[in-house]
Homo-oligomer: A and B are copies of this chain.
Amino acid sequence: MKKIVLPVITFAAVAGVVTCIGTAFGEANHDAKTIFVEKIPPGYRDWRLISVAHEEGNLNSFAAVLGNDIAIKAYREGKLPFPDGAIIAALHYSHTPSEENNKVFGRSQSFVPGAPTNIQFMVKDSKKYAATGGWGFAHFKDGKPGDEALMNTCFPCHDQAKGSDLVFTRYAP
């Protein structure tokens, strides 16, 4: 059966590190275990900043992208592919107007993170995740991992960023 890739599938794919939505990629032809990462990597909220991201449209998403030490080192040294052990985290929030700030501004122009929407990770393990470019993908909403259908949408989208080892986010100076 022909694989149907709808634009909507990829809306969230570059919101931060990785966002996997929809089910149309459910037929993606790869052999990896589709629930890649079942536990939230500890300490991620203390990791250093890689960059920030904003998606308009249905996603309405605001992201902070953080990296563990291995990921940050690779980014700063411009090393590709990322070494095993690198983990990139995207903390997603709703992109929310700040009434408080706008009051100071005197007009509507200020946006801040609203409620957290999900936390996503890309975990590099070239052996374990060989079938998906060496990356395991993770999505947690309210602490619970995304289901198989959702997780099947990650790799086909990220696979479009082959030139940067499947990672969309660039390091912000």
Contact = CB atoms under 8 A, between A and B. Distances in A.
Contacts of A104: 10, 13-14, 157, 160-161, 168
Contact of A113 (B51, B62, B113): B51
B13 A51 contact: no
Interface string A146-173: 0000000000010011000000111011
A36 interface: no
A14 B100 CA distance: 10
B7 A107 contact: yes
13 contacts: A7-B105, A10-B106, A14-B110, A45-B49, A47-B48, A52-B62, A52-B64, A53-B112, A54-B110, A56-B111, A59-B109, A64-B64, A104-B161
A116 B173 contact: yes
Number of copies: 2
Interface stretch (A79-87, A90-98, A121-129, A131-139): A90-98
A172 B91 contact: yes
Given A7-B107, A104-B10, A104-B14, A52 B63 contact: yes
A143 to B, nearest CB: 12
A101 B91 CA distance: 18
Contacts of A95: 54
A52 B98 CA distance: 12
A53 B110 contact: yes
